[in-house]
Amino acid sequence: MKKSIINTRVIHRYLGFFLVGVLAVYAISGITLIFRKTDSFKKTVIKEIILDKDTQTKDLGKVLKIPDFKVDSTQLEMVYFKEGNFNQKTGRAIISTKEYPYLLDKMMKLHKATTKSPVYWLNIFFGLSLLFFVISSFWMFLPSTSTFKKGILFSILGFLMTILILFI
């Protein structure tokens, strides 16, 4: 039994060191995602896009990839909307968007990766590693020690707190 405790501790330790960078990325992007419905951390980016002159006003939102698109007004060949404007004569659209800085945007895409992303395997590996940390932490101390017993108590309290928060 002592040999398995030592091996588990060694794996736990070096896997922890290995994942330090990934943990930092997930922590930063996770905290940032809490504010995703605000403009916190975002910067204004103005883009000029040349569209087909025949683009219909009703198709602008889809073509410009603007959710909940709504035209505010139309004057001569100009179409005005909340995010910018479109010149029907020249096909020139100017839009203003709020975007995360490059590195933070990449971090958030990693955090929200799906199976369509080429790095989704990292999310799976990270999740399995965290699960290993949860399970292996119980092998860090002998069950007869007070540290182990307190660890069990704190684990139960943490679990109950999480369940309570889920239903608030």
- Position 1 scores a pLDDT of 52
- Position 119 scores a pLDDT of 87
DSSP per position, the chain: -HHHHHHHHHHHHHHHHHTHHHHHHHHHHHHHHHTTTS-TT-EEEEEEEE--TT--GGGHHHHHT-TT--EEEEETTEEEETTEEEETTT-EEEEEEEE--HHHHHHHHHHT--TTSTTHHHHHHHHHHHHHHHHHGGGSS-TTSHHHHHHHHHHHHHHHHHHHHHT-
Closest CA to 29 of 122, 115, 135: 122
Joined together, the tokens standing for residue 108 give: 């958030």
- Position 46 scores a pLDDT of 95
- Position 142 scores a pLDDT of 83
- Position 47 scores a pLDDT of 94
- Position 73 scores a pLDDT of 93
- Position 166 scores a pLDDT of 93
Which residues of the chain carry a pLDDT beneath 50? none
Question: In the chain, what are the domain boundaries?
Answer: 2-38+102-166, 43-99
